[in-house]
Structure 1
């Protein structure tokens, strides 16, 4: 079983968590001012990298809080977890850059 380290509760089994999408996606300041194509791009276009990826997760069966995680999509290994509102840790995988 995969163990995920909640930054609020500590390590817990994966069954307690729910995926919440890509992390660090800023909502437009004035959504009503966007045309349909731009709004659609914001809603549905996300990166899907091979390697390290910043994601939002929710500890649904624990504290109920959202947090961010850097997960390697090729191995499903959680490299780091951190509280929402904190910047993404400067972590690099083999052959890639987080810049």
Structure 2
């Protein structure tokens, strides 16, 4: 995503932010979504899965797993995919 598109998106999202609490909540939600998306993409790469491809092999995605992310403003609960053989270690 280029900077111009990101600025347009940020301006649109900022319209709903009225207070410091709104900004903090938005920041936490954005962090949660970003980290979950990155972890799930990394797992997909680890397993060699292509989108909409049939499953092959025994080590595939197996339900969701809860993780707690510690950050500057407290804990954020994450829900990420996990692999059946538990060989995935995110970087």
The question of a shared fold, defined as TM-score above 0.5 by the shorter chain, is answered with no
Q: TM-score, normalised by structure 1?
A: 0.23
Q: TM-score, normalised by structure 2?
A: 0.25
